[in-house]
Structure 1
């Protein structure tokens, strides 16, 4: 019973760390981009990953965790395609309106459910699907404004959805099937993710903002916020892998929309962003949907797993995660990056 309680505390801690760090970095990056005029989100993400890797390298040297060998081909593909996924998401925002970009983010949950159903033989009950529907409706009401379609933007959004969904599923699969922790997987994949974004990030940012990151005048205040953003990003990146490893890609996406609601709320209270009745209604519906999702998931877990039968719990969880034989390794990145780009676009475009 004590071990089971420890597992539950670990999951709650991972969720709390993810929410707290994500909201913090969005507020920090919004100040950096909106108030200080630093719009280079993709390049900033590459710095986040570099600092994350350096921090984990120091932690590994101090024996805070042990490295575990994973097939190098898998790690390289995972890291490189992760960077590509982030670039596609940023380009998607550049070619689409804010409203259509929010629709792209909402589409990640149903597409993840579809992929897990088709390739992982995972079943989602009607109650779970209904709670996800309520959640998506609420977030849509709170965050979607205009919808403007164009061919290039639609294609980029489709590719971004596919790479993000598959990457998050593979993050969960790799950790479970290869028995590696979130820290070990992040430590091995972060340098490859950072390398891709470090090379292509300035080009993507220049295309989207018409400015060069190398020509920007870095004041002490800007440098201070960049350092703070990178430090918070260590927690964001770690918690992302931790949450997906301990829960599921769908749960992580649900958590991501909770962050969206919290960001809207904090933006209103701390940054004095516009806030309407529509935002309040949407957030209320979304929170209700998240509550339903948590309630139904908890009930279904109790029905499947006898109390105290930890071995059965482990077997069931492993059976739900089968290798994707027909899908390549792709990477992940938290939705915070999209929120900070959104903040930049709101203020600079």
Structure 2
């Protein structure tokens, strides 16, 4: 199996792991929040990250991966930024209607495209732009219902979108720039992410729910769901960094909208959530956008690989042409020399005669 095939297989595995784990944790958390009344989302996320760090620390001790030191300022800033983006997304949900919050999540893709175009000089073809537009239209039809605006909620949403985009772009660029794996980056940034949310989480949750996470009655069932959620989160966090590192922030967001569609479908099938023709139409349109995006990305990547493969061949052919030209030129010189010497040899022969 070639290196390219292994990379593609790894990418497919990362995407699959991300979808399965994310859908699983959403269903688990939905039962935890809706059915059991545990509404402390930010604090729960901090526990997720803490368990992820502990799991990776055990994996490091067992030599499953190697520790690679990174610039401390980069890791600290990256980890804190990730924690802030999570907190802002939760605040955005708390201060806005569900419909406006869904629009906030939809805005992450165009914002990411804009930032990568402006600051990283990345180019997105017209085909990919159209595919993303179809995807966003479908997800919007399926998820956006009541849209109510307010000044504070809009500011929080804007900050949430910007911090999320920057954090995801940094996830990709740090891995490539410093040549670290997703596991190494996640391990080093997790303490700062979890620390940020462990400190701010209880206050944010109290502010949003008017309830104290430490005063909540933790039944056996609640604890069981929290433990399951934390265990699944290890896979979610790992696959998130893995997908962004292997693909791009935009692809990760496209994958996120696929998860949204799957969650809607599973919510209808398993939890009997309300489902109407608008949800079905939106999911179908979104799936068309995802298929188009996947097709155009695959087509462009194959085209790029073929172009890169032909460049060395063309360079080799040019080098061969130059060598042939030199040989022909040197042959001409030898021939001329022989031609010039021939008469001299003959004249000498005539003299001796």
If the TM-score is normalised by the length of the shorter chain, which range does it land in? 0.7 to 0.9
Residue of structure 1 equivalent to 2:33? 33
CA apart distance, 1:308: 9.2
d(CA) in 1 for partners of 2:100 and 2:82? 22
Counterparts in 2 of 1:138-217, with a 5 A limit?
A: 138-217=138-217
User: Structure 2: how far apart are the matches of 1:219 and 1:59?
Assistant: 31
1:25: Cα distance to partner? 0.1
Distance 1:310 1:147, change over 3 A: farther
Determine the C-alpha separation between the residues in 2 that align with 1:51 and 1:311: 48
Higher RCO by CA contacts (8 Å cutoff, separation 6 or greater): 1
Q: How far apart in 1 are the matches of 2:101 and 2:166?
A: 19
Asked if 1:125 is matched to 2:97, the reply is no
> Which residue in 1 is equivalent to 2:343?
none
Matches within 5 A, 1:167-316: 167-306=167-306, 309=309
Gaps of 5+ in 1: 313-349
Name the CA distance, whole Å, in 1 between partners of 2:300 and 2:308: 16
Q: 2: CA distance between counterparts of 1:88 and 1:213?
A: 19
Query: Distance between the aligned counterparts of 1:83 and 1:279, measured in 2?
Result: 32
Runs of 4+ aligned residues of structure 1 deviating over 2 Å after TM superposition are: 307-312
Partner residue in 2 for 1:64: 64
Corresponding position of 1:347? none
| Contact 1:4–1:308 (Cα < 8 Å) also in 2 | no
Q: What is aligned with 1:113?
A: 113
Instruction: Please give the alpha-carbon distance, in whole angstroms, between the structure 2 residues aligned to 1:178 and 1:311.
Output: 27
Q: CA deviation at 1:304?
A: 1.2
Structure with max Cα Rg = 2
- Tell me by how many angstroms 1:101 deviates: 0.4
Q: Is the 8 A contact 1:92 1:153 kept in 2?
A: yes
Choose between structure 1 and 2: higher helix proportion.
2
Q: Secondary structure at the match of 2:86?
A: helix
Matches within 5 A, 1:91-110: 91-110=91-110
- SS of equivalent to 1:305: helix
Equivalent residue pairs, number: 312
CA RMSD in angstroms, aligned pairs only: 1.4
User: Is residue 80–residue 196 contact of structure 1 (8 Å, CA) maintained in 2?
Assistant: yes
Distance 1:207 1:295, change over 3 A: same
Partner of 1:134: 134
Structure 1: how far apart are the matches of 2:215 and 2:259? 33
Cα displacement (A) at 1:4: 1.5
Worse overlay, 129-138 or 70-79: 70-79
Deviates more, 1:61-70 or 1:83-92: 83-92
Q: 1:307 to 1:122 in 2, by over 3 A?
A: closer
The residue matched to 2:213 in structure 1 has which SS? coil
Deviation per CA, 1:4-63, whole angstroms, max 9, x where unpaired? 111110000000000000000000001111111100000000000000000000000000
Q: Which residue of 2 aligns with 1:318?
A: none
Which residue in the other structure is 1:345 paired with?
A: none
CA distance in 1, matches of 2:81, 2:175: 17
Aligned ranges 1:43-54 → 2 under 5 Å: 43-54=43-54
Write the distance in 1 (CA, Å) between the matches of 2:218 and 2:47.
15
Give me the whole-angstrom Cα distance separating, in 2, the residues matched to 1:308 and 1:136: 32
Provide the secondary structure at the position in 1 that maps to 2:211: coil
| CA displacement at 1:184 relative to structure 2 | 0.1
2:271 and 2:256 map into 1 onto residues whose CA distance is 21
In 1, distance between residues paired with 2:36 and 2:248?
Answer: 37
CA distance in 1, matches of 2:163, 2:292: 28
